[in-house]
Amino acid sequence: MTVADNKVTLGFEAEVKQLLHLMIHSLYSNKEIFLRELISNASDAADKLRFSALSNDALYEGDSALKIRIEFDKAARTISVIDNGIGMTRDEVRDNIGTIARSGTRQFFESLTGDQAKDSQLIGQFGVGFYSSFIVADKVTLETRKAGEPSSHGVRWESRGEGDYTLETIDRPERGTRVTLHLREGEDEFLDGWRLRAIIRKFSDHIALPILMRKESPDEAKDEGKTAEWETVNSASALWAKNKEDISEEQYNEFYKHVAHDFEAPLARLHSRVEGTNEYTLLLYLPSHPPFDLWDRESKHGVRLYVRKVFIMEGSDKLMPRYLRFVRGVIDSDSLPLNVSREILQENALLEKIRSGAVKKVLGLLEDLAKNEPDKYRTFWKNFGPVLKEGPIEDFKNKDRIAKLLRFSSTHTDSEEQTVSLDDYIGRMKEGQDKIYYITAETFTAAKNSPHLEVFRRKGVEVLLLSDRVDDWLVNYLSDYQGKHLQSVAKGDLDLGALGDEEAKKQTEEATKELQPLLDRIKAVLGDKVADVKVSGRLTESPACLVSDVYAMSRTMEKLMKAVGQQTPTSKPVFEINPNHPLVVRLKFEPNELRFQDLTHILYDQAVLSEGAQLDDPAGFVRRLNGLLQGL
Ligand code: ADP
Ligand code: MG
């Protein structure tokens, strides 16, 4: 096969076209970021080569001085970004540049609304990457050769950023990648060494590799024949290794955007060096918005591990537990051996210590925000609260510290916003109250309007309203806080402890005696739908409610388990009725057996509905209710 035979024209995935279009139009006012993105990729490519070369020195091909070069050509109207990093094979070019493989990108597309203004904002929240070249270029040529491959395995990729691209095998002696932008009409401002230097210093100063440009002096520019002298434009040292005082806010933020593939500045950061036998540096950030792959179990993004400035791996739960998976940044260890493989790291005790140290620092950062910057903490909680709630489940050792950071909705806040801490709750507990009461439900509204809350409302006792998916797991693991038991208001017999009054208790007992025949009659109708029928002490307005067994899984939990295909022993609820409610009174005196049955089923179904749950037989409910309405 000749080289020419290798040239193929391929179409972009539909989504790439869409992305390109959107990017060009929405990022135009920020167009110089293309350089940051290309430099960021070049730097990642160098990191990858350095890591692979740890176990195979031959990959350096005798040249281990990794660097990035920026060139421009006024006559040809091109800018090139050249690296001697890992490079790509033909397949890799096709997979990485022609398709949208990253799951985050997919989710990004799923969240597009079609509304230009809204979508432009979205793209700003999402790492833009290689395609940002097309903001300023109407043709992009990428030439690359993978480290360790023969020079005949070079690849040229070229596209005008419209529907398709070409892919061609070329001869390329140099290892690594060269991206050449052919500038659009009117973008000549970038054909200026000083402008390019200013952009590099602004966006990419933190890059640890030297970024080189040709020296410029008026004489040399004229002297075409002379071999070029190169000079380093950036400070070319790992940002995290510098002293805090020497790093500007802007440098911190640009570094974040690079490691997090984010477009916006972070919410908060911590930069610290741990000394001792196990020495390491942390530069960790909290994003200001949720990354698109927050709920993606396959997500590769996260914290990066370096050993003495050599990149080792990214996004492993060996570096950060799952419940802190939103954290971005770098951990650089001085103590781990350089020749570690990713496999060895799986069981490394030193790494485990680093991880647990890093977790403590992140929890410290969150505590600090919660205390001193409540607005920021609220933003954090809105974005990542449900993730942090996995903490007490996953990290037993730090359970209490994490519990202190949790926030909930409650009957005392009356908005869905979760702002109540367990400490707030305890501080407001009623005289004689010894438990933390909560209810879990499918939605905030279902929780807030649950009949189970009635007696607590009447007594002014606060109840936490839990409606995040994770909440049912959470309360299983967090059964106590500061010596106070967390008690569901929808489970077991009503136990108000010292809050209960004897009078009410006596009334319930008396009503039970008096209504025993009614209770038996209802039980006969409901059959094995219920474990028992009782007179309720918790209802003031609603006619009835369902209560689960103390040890039973909550009903939302049961549903969750079923949804993921788990067999669960379905526990039958107790059906509690309000003896003072007119409907119950009517039931008591209902002579017609059929009507009695209908009314009983309706009360039961209403209790199910008020939990936000689904009826087994909704049509039956409608039929009975209509019958009853007509009979009125
Ligand atoms: P991201 O950097 O967030 O992964 P990009 O769109 O910037 O997204 O790049 C897509 C992929 O293309 C990279 O993940 C990498 O695999 C590949 N790539 C881009 N530029 C280079 C380069 N200079 N050298 C090697 N691979 C590259
Ligand atoms: Mg990139």
The 3-class SS string of 86-138 reads CCCCHHHHHHHHCCCCCHHHHHHHHCCCCCHHHHHHHHHCCCCHHHHHHHHEE
* 604 CB-side CA count, 13 A: 29
> What tokens appear for 22 in the block?
């959107």
Q: What is the DSSP letter of 552?
A: S
**What's the pLDDT at 105?**
61
Nearest of 43, 143, 107 to residue 296 by alpha carbon: 107
Q: How many Å lie between the centroid of ligand 1 and the Cα of residue 263?
A: 16
- Which ligand minimizes its atom distance to the CA of 45? 1
Q: Is the pLDDT of residue 3 over 50?
A: no
Would the pLDDT of 631 be above 50? yes
Looking at residue 317, its pLDDT comes to 86
Hey, whose CA ends up nearest to atom 11 of ligand 1? 96
Three-class DSSP labels, 238-281: CHHHCCHHHCCHHHHHHHHHHHHCCCCCCCEEEEEEECCCCCEE
| Other Cβ atoms within 10 Å of 571 Cβ, number | 15
Determine which residue's CA is closest to atom 14 belonging to ligand 1.
96
Contact 290, 384 (CB under 8 A): yes
- Which pLDDT score is estimated for 527? 93
Q: Which ligand is nearest to the CA of 42?
A: 1
Q: Which helix (H) or strand (E) holds 220?
A: helix 218-222
Q: Tokens at residue 132, please?
A: 């940002």
Q: How far is CA 303 from CA 68, 326, 353, 376, in A?
A: 24, 9, 16, 21
Q: What is the Cα–Cα distance from 415 to 378, expressed in whole angstroms?
A: 14
Give kind and range of the element (H or E) at residue 480: strand 480-481
Tell me the pLDDT band of 118, cut-offs 50, 70 and 90. low
pLDDT tens digits for range 147-200: 999 999 999 999 998 888 999 999 999 999 999 999 999 999 999 999 999 999
pLDDT for res 266? 97
Residue nearest to atom 8 of ligand 1 (CA): 129
Query: Ligand 1, residues 27, 37, 43, 44: which to mutate, most atoms within 8 A of Cβ?
Result: 44
How far is ligand 2, taken at its centre, from the CA of residue 45, in Å?
10
Is pLDDT above 50 for 132? yes
**Residue 347 has what pLDDT?**
77
Strand partners, 232: 212
pTM for the predicted model, two decimal places: 0.80
Q: Is 88 in the pocket of ligand 1 (CB under 6 A)?
A: yes
C-alpha 44 to ligand 1 mean position (Å): 8
- Between the CA of 323 and the centroid of ligand 1 the distance, in Å, is 28
Q: What is the pLDDT of residues 134-149, one digit of tens each?
A: 999 999 999 999 999 9
Taking the CA of 102 as reference, the closest ligand is: 1
Q: How far is the CA of 14 from the centre of ligand 1 (A)?
A: 19
Which one, of 365, 407, 356, 389, lies nearest residue 267 by Cα?
365
Binding site membership of 32 for ligand 1 (Cβ less than 6 Å):
no
pLDDT in tens, 192-236: 999 999 999 888 888 889 999 999 876 555 555 566 789 999 988
CA dihedral sign, ordered 195, 158, 261, 69: negative
- Please say if the pLDDT value at position 86 is more than 90: yes
Q: Between these two residues, 28 and 308, which has the higher pLDDT value?
A: 308
Nearest Cα to 4, choosing from 171, 169, 160?
A: 169
In the predicted structure, residue 17 carries a pLDDT above the cut 50: yes
Ligand 1 atom closest to Cα of 48?
25
At 359 the pLDDT is 98
| Whether residue 338 has pLDDT greater than 80 | no
On the question of pLDDT at 28 being above 90, the answer is no
Q: Is the pLDDT of residue 406 over 80?
A: yes
pLDDT at 119: 66
% residues pLDDT > 70 (the chain): 89
Question: Is 130 a pocket residue for ligand 1 (Cβ < 6 Å)?
Answer: yes
Min mean pLDDT across 242-246, 290-294, 341-345 is at 341-345
**Residue 95, CB-side half-sphere exposure with 13 Å CA sphere:** 7
Mean pLDDT, to the nearest integer, of 55-68? 95
Q: Are residues 515 and 509 in contact, defined by beta-carbon separation less than 8 angstroms?
A: no
Query: What mean pLDDT do residues 375-384 have?
Result: 97
Structural domains of the chain, with CATH: 8-193 (3.30.565.10), 253-381 (3.30.230.80), 406-499 (3.40.50.11260), 502-630 (1.20.120.790)
User: Going by DSSP bridges, is the β-strand pair 137-145/154-159 parallel, antiparallel, or unpaired?
Assistant: antiparallel
pLDDT at 396: 94
Does any ligand 1 atom lie closer than 6 A to the CB of residue 260? no
CA 301 – ligand 2 centroid, Å: 12
The CA–CA distances, whole Å, from 150 to 42, 45, 54, 145, 170 equal 21, 18, 20, 8, 11
| pLDDT band at residue 605 using 50, 70 and 90 as cut-offs | very high
pLDDT at 102 over 60: no
Place of tokens 């609304």: 113
pLDDT, tens digit (0-9, with 9 covering 90-100), for 308-322: 888 888 888 889 999
pLDDT at 447: 92
Q: Tell how far the Cα of 329 is from the centroid of ligand 2, in angstroms.
A: 15
pLDDT at 399 over 50: yes
- Is 188 exposed, middle or buried (CB count within 10 Å of its CB: 0-12, 13-18, 19+)? exposed
Residue nearest to atom 4 of ligand 1 (CA): 129
Q: What is the mean pLDDT of residues 448-461?
A: 91
The answer on pLDDT for 392 being more than 90 is yes
| More confident call, 520 vs 610 | 520
Q: Which of 504, 488, 498 is nearest to 578 (CA)?
A: 504
DSSP reduced 3-state for 490: coil
Residue 259: CB within 6 Å of ligand 1?
no
Query: What's the token pair of residue 300?
Result: 């590769």
Q: Whose CA is nearest to atom 10 of ligand 1?
A: 96
Atom of ligand 1 nearest to the CA of 261: 3
Q: 97 in ligand 1 pocket by Cβ < 6 Å?
A: yes
How much distance in Å is there from the Cα of 102 to the middle of ligand 2?
12
Q: Which of 381-390, 472-481, 605-614 has the weakest average pLDDT?
A: 605-614
For residue 81, the ligand 1 atom closest to its alpha carbon is: 23
The whole-number average pLDDT for the span 1-15 is: 72
Q: Of 280-289, 326-335, 348-357, 497-506, where does mean pLDDT reach its minimum? A: 497-506
356: pLDDT strictly greater than 80: yes
pLDDT in tens, 239-286: 999 999 999 999 999 999 888 888 889 999 999 999 988 999 999 999
43 CA to middle of ligand 2, Å? 9
What is the CA(619)–ligand 1 centre distance, in A? Answer: 55
- Mean pLDDT score of the chain, rounded to an integer? 88
The mean per-residue pLDDT over the stretch 529-547 comes to 92
